[in-house]
Amino acid sequence: MKDAAGAVDDPGPPEPILRDRADRGVGSRWLGLLPVVAMFCAAAWQMRIDWSYDESYRYGWVVPALMAYLISVRWRDRPAAQPGSSPSSTALWVALGIAFVLTWLIREANPDWRLIGVALSALAVAAGLLWFRDAGGRAWFWHFAGAVAFFAVAVPWPTVLERAISGVLMPANAALTLEALHWLGVPAIRSGNLITLHEGTLGVEEACSGIRSLLSLTFLSLVYAFFFDEKAWMRWALLAATIPIAIAANALRVTVTGIMSEINPELAHGFMHTAQGWVIFMTALVILVGVHQGINSIYKAVRRAK
């Protein structure tokens, strides 16, 4: 195209060439990715005991692989890189390194402290996000933020927090179970977390509080949202939906256990108890998918109305 003076405008190189040139700067930063990977490995090593022996967190073993896969998926449609570093970036790297060393020293004295896993995971995620910001600018930071932060799903909750939540869930489940039994015509009396039936007493203990269902549903809701919905806010919506779904599902499980114990006390134990737990959990997962479809339908209807 010519301007008024007859000169030819230079439109510049096309977008793919600009991306290639910008991405070349990332190559010099790959070496800097090694300490980031090391920090993630250290966090995983710290949490391996909980992942191996605590049934609530066994899904943690697949989280690093899923995180790597999500990053690879995001890599395919990454925006053009705008690499650059600043004194503040250097200061952040130094701070992360010092914090990691101090945390590891504390770990030597308290190797089983869950807060060590929380701290190491937070440092690893922060280092990953900082690497992407330095390598590709803010565009890369926000583009890869969700995939990198997904690692946090595998972090076991601090024991104090876990017990506090269980302490809230147990009486809530006991109250819901009592109402459900009365609605079904089953005589029952509640005393704290104990429900007295005709054939015996049903205890809503910590293992039956619903904390396991809540943790598992939290993990699956985020996996489902990442793979089946690109809207970032949907992940938060489904995450919030897991709380009432998990409570309702666990109350249903305790109610079914109470009914089965009235029919035959042996049915409330062993294989039948485990089987009905799996059935109800899968039902909760189906409800979660239904909630997602319902929210999407409302979202589409609102957009069409505009």
DSSP string for 210-246: SHHHHHHHHHHHHHHHHHH---HHHHHHHHHHHHHHH
Count of the separate structural domains present in the chain:
2
Grade residue 81 by pLDDT with cuts at 50, 70 and 90: confident
* C-alpha to C-alpha distance for 190 and 223, rounded to whole angstroms: 38
Grade residue 271 by pLDDT with cuts at 50, 70 and 90: low
What percentage of residues in the chain have a pLDDT greater than 70?
83
Mark whether 254 and 166 lie in a shared domain: yes
Mark whether 170 and 295 lie in a shared domain: yes
Last residue of a domain, one of 134, 153, 172: 153
- For the chain, give the number of residues: 306
Mark whether 149 and 190 lie in a shared domain: no
Stated pTM of the model: 0.77
On the question of pLDDT at 2 being above 80, the answer is no
Last residue of a domain, one of 153, 183, 204: 153
Mark whether 293 and 235 lie in a shared domain: yes
On the question of pLDDT at 266 being above 80, the answer is no
Structural domain boundaries enclosing 169? 159-305
Establish if 5 belongs to a structural domain: no
Mark whether 142 and 193 lie in a shared domain: no
Tell me the two tokens of residue 68.
């790597």
pLDDT at 229: 84
Mark whether 128 and 224 lie in a shared domain: no
Mark whether 140 and 23 lie in a shared domain: yes
Distances (CA, A) of 217 to 62, 79, 111, 171: 15, 32, 28, 20
Mark whether 201 and 146 lie in a shared domain: no
